[in-house]
Structure 1
Amino acid sequence: MIYDWIRVFLATGFVQTLPEKQWLTPLIHEHKLHCSEYGCPIVSHSLQWGPNLYVTGALAELEVGPIPRNISGARQAAQLIVNSL
């Protein structure tokens, strides 16, 4: 069979909000860390969010892409951080 599709919708089910807000929000305000409109950290290519502050996992999604929550993403994040030190 051949299908002629007009639209394809893909959804991961993840909510685009900052995880662990209860302790991160005060840190963001205290250190004036940059965030997207959804609250996600805006980090450098090396995943640096502030002086001596690097992120991995869900906090690295804007730079790493959709994989930082799994082991492959953790490896990629670690390599980016190590290369910058």
Structure 2
Amino acid sequence: VDRPIYIIPINKISDRWLVRYFNKKAAMLKQAMENHTMPPVCSARERWNNRKCVDYCDARAECDYSRELQLAMVGLAG
């Protein structure tokens, strides 16, 4: 680090793509709630290759994938 500020270019995601993406996720969640089932597991990209599951996801206590991931991590640590 040799400067106080770095400019990092970030490509903007289109509003249309965001609306389609979140409408799809909302529909899957609504269907899962109506059927009393879990929604599909998030993709690896959505999970940030599991980092989101472990440290940030608000639903991790209810998610089968996240629970299995936590057990696997405990097994590796122990």
Please give the TM-score of this superposition, normalised by the length of structure 2: 0.29
Based on CA coordinates, which of the two structures has the bigger radius of gyration? 2
Q: Which has the higher strand share?
A: 1
Higher normalized contact order (CA 8 Å, seq sep 6+, divided by chain length) = 1
Q: Which has the higher helix share?
A: 2
